[in-house]
DNA sequence: CCTCCACAGGAACCGGTGGGAA
DNA sequence: TTCCCACCGGTTCCTGTGGAGG
């Protein structure tokens, strides 16, 4: 039933790496100048979601010969310990069990990086910094005495690395900053047009439908998901009207995808916020959210977590850019934060 | 000037898990 | 085997916050 329009599903998948990137020549040049056999700069790459930070970095790093590459997704490895395990696993190419002392892992990593140049990529570093501070970066920066280790940190545009880590860490890391500009509507149009050409049968997309998507979002990931949802649900041809009709569904599928690596409670919490946002015009505070979350848990017969824990989960939803929060540390409203949704669309578990 | 709002977020602690030494 | 110790997700406890209203 679906797939009628799709000849090759790959270019519509979230993990697909295009052979070329729209509007990223400067970034590519900068990366290839900085990452190489005779360069040993640490780098901090920053920019909005879906602008190619991770892919461009890995493309460059994978070009190198005779270099150890360690990629750590800090959304999953959000403590020093988990990240160190990940690094060591990359170096030894065999699984590293838990149970070791942190300093054991550190020692083993130091032993293995002494002789060979090693590039450590820490993707979505904001999750690790938020959860367990800068102890990992401090260790890595201290390892700089071993000049063969380069650290590349990648984060969304909201992070201020220098403010988030201690002075001693930042000053010995001295990362070279690379900022990726947000994509414009035209860029997004080019990107989804390219994906449509690669994956859809000829004459199955009206141009106006792509224009509509590009006018609604500057986030290519959402745009591509939108196109994918449209292609999976359209009859013979993707029209502008069809794209409009499935807007909510597309956003929900994008959000599901974002929340997929997280726990059931993150999803419940987000759903609780959406319920509140739909039913109230006033601003939402943490207390309302927690109550709504508890009720939702009860109706689903799930045991709710403590509000302290949920406070941390909220922070993670904020890092995912799913919600915006404004913090008040006292004042008329008390000590709280006001929460808003970043995407309109209502959430439904599929 | 005092009090209260209403939760942020640090600290200490708990039980389960898994490696290492005796 | 037994004992010890570290990590981790989670909980409980607690202190701090700054302006509006009394």
Residue at shortest CA–C1' distance from C9: A309
- What predicted TM-score, i.e. pTM, was given to this entire model? 0.92
pLDDT reading at A2 higher than 70: no
Strand C close to A69 by CB, under 7 A: no
DSSP A102-145: HHHHHHHHHHHHSSS-EEEEEETHHHHHHHHTTHHHHHHHHGGG
pLDDT digits (tens, 9 = 90+) for A152-175: 999 998 899 999 999 989 998 999
pLDDT digits (tens, 9 = 90+) for A270-292: 999 999 999 887 889 999 999 99
| Residue A346, pLDDT score | 43
| Residue A144, pLDDT score | 58
The per-residue pLDDT of chain A, averaged, comes to 91
For the CA of A86 and the C1' of B1, the distance in angstroms is 57
pLDDT digits (tens, 9 = 90+) for A229-268: 999 999 889 999 999 999 999 999 999 999 999 999 999 9
Question: In this predicted model, which residue has the larger pLDDT, A185 or A350?
Answer: A185
| Residue A212, pLDDT score | 97
pLDDT reading at A348 higher than 70: no
Percentage of chain A modeled with pLDDT above 70: 95
Task: Report the distance separating Cα A15 and Cα A259, nearest Å.
Answer: 15
| Residue A258, pLDDT score | 96
| Residue A344, pLDDT score | 60
Task: Report the distance separating Cα A31 and Cα A23, nearest Å.
Answer: 14
For the CA of A64 and the C1' of B10, the distance in angstroms is 44
Average pLDDT over residues A20-37: 86
| Residue A64, pLDDT score | 86
Average pLDDT over residues A2-6: 71
A325: nearest nucleotide, CA–C1' criterion: B8
Residue at shortest CA–C1' distance from B5: A334
> Which residues, at least 6 apart from A150, have a Cβ–Cβ distance to it below 8 Å?
A35, A40, A41, A42, A43, A117, A118, A119, A120
| Residue A349, pLDDT score | 36
Average pLDDT over residues A201-207: 93
For the CA of A103 and the C1' of B22, the distance in angstroms is 22
Q: Which residues pair with A337 in a beta bridge?
A: A327
Residues A33-38: contacts with CB under 8 Å, at least 24 apart: A34/A176, A34/A178, A35/A60, A35/A61, A35/A64, A35/A119, A35/A150, A35/A152, A36/A64, A37/A64, A37/A66, A37/A67, A37/A117
Average pLDDT over residues A83-88: 94
Strand B close to A292 by CB, under 7 A: no
A101: nearest nucleotide, CA–C1' criterion: C6
Average pLDDT over residues A22-49: 87
pLDDT digits (tens, 9 = 90+) for A316-341: 999 999 999 999 998 888 999 999 99
What is the DSSP pairing of strand A68-73 with strand A118-123? parallel
| Residue A152, pLDDT score | 96
pLDDT reading at A60 higher than 50: yes
Q: Kindly report the three-state secondary structure assignment for every residue of A319-338.
A: HCCCEEEEEEECCCCCEEEE
* Nearest partner of A116 among A141, A83, A92, judged by Cα: A92
| Residue A68, pLDDT score | 87
For the CA of A311 and the C1' of B6, the distance in angstroms is 13
| Residue A347, pLDDT score | 41
b/e burial code for range A39-71 (CB count within 10 A of at least 16 → b): eeebbbbbbbbbbbbbbbbbbbbeeeeebbbbb
Strand B close to A95 by CB, under 7 A: no
| Residue A231, pLDDT score | 96
Average pLDDT over residues A14-26: 87
Instruction: Name the percent of chain A in helix, strand, coil, to the closest 5.
Output: 50, 15, 35
Reported confidence tier of residue A19, pLDDT bands at 50, 70, 90: confident
For the CA of A306 and the C1' of C10, the distance in angstroms is 8
pLDDT reading at A297 higher than 90: yes
DSSP A221-282: HHHHHHHHHHHHH-SSSB-HHHHHHTHHHHHHHHHHHHHTTS-HHHHHHHHHHHHHHHH-SS
Average pLDDT over residues A136-144: 86
Question: In this predicted model, which residue has the larger pLDDT, A301 or A147?
Answer: A301
A312: nearest nucleotide, CA–C1' criterion: B9
- Kindly report the bases of strand B lying within 7 A of a protein C-beta atom: 5-11, 17-20
Strand C close to A327 by CB, under 7 A: no
């Amino acid at each position: 039933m679906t797939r009628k329009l799709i000849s090759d599903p790959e270019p519509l998948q979230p993990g697909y790496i295009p052979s070329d990137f729209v509007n990223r020549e400067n970034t590519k040049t900068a990366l290839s100048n900085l990452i190489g056999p005779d360069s040993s700069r640490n780098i901090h790459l920053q920019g909005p979601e879906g602008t190619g930070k991770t892919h461009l970095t890995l493309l460059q790093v994978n070009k190198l010969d005779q270099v150890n590459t360690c990629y750590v997704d800090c959304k999953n490895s959000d403590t020093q310990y988990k990240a160190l395990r990940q690094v060591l696993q990359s170096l030894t190419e065999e699984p590293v069990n838990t149970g070791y002392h942190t300093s054991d892992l550190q020692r083993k990593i130091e032993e293995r990086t002494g002789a060979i140049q090693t590039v450590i990529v820490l993707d979505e570093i904001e999750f690790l910094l938020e959860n367990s501070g800068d102890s990992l970066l401090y260790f890595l920066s201290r390892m700089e005495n071993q000049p063969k280790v380069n650290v590349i940190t990648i984060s969304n545009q909201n992070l201020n690395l220098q403010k988030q880590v201690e002075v001693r860490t930042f000053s010995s890391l001295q990362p070279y900053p690379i900022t990726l500009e947000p994509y414009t509507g035209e860029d997004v149009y080019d990107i989804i047009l390219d994906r449509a050409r690669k994956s859809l049968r000829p004459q199955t997309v009206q141009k106006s439908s792509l224009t509509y998507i590009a006018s609604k979002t500057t986030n290519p990931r959402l745009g591509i998901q939108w196109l994918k949802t449209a292609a999976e649900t359209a009859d013979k041809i993707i029209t502008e009207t069809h794209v409009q009709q499935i807007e909510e569904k597309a956003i929900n599928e994008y959000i599901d995808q974002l929340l997929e690596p997280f726990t059931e409670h993150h999803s419940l919490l987000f759903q609780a916020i959406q319920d509140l946002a739909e039913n109230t015009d006033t601003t939402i505070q943490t207390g309302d959210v927690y109550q709504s979350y508890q009720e939702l848990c009860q109706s689903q017969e799930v045991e709710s977590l403590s509000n302290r824990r949920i406070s941390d989960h909220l922070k993670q939803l904020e890092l995912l850019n799913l919600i915006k929060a404004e913090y008040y540390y006292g004042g008329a409203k008390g000590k709280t934060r006001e929460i808003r949704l970043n995407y309109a669309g209502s959430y439904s578990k599929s």
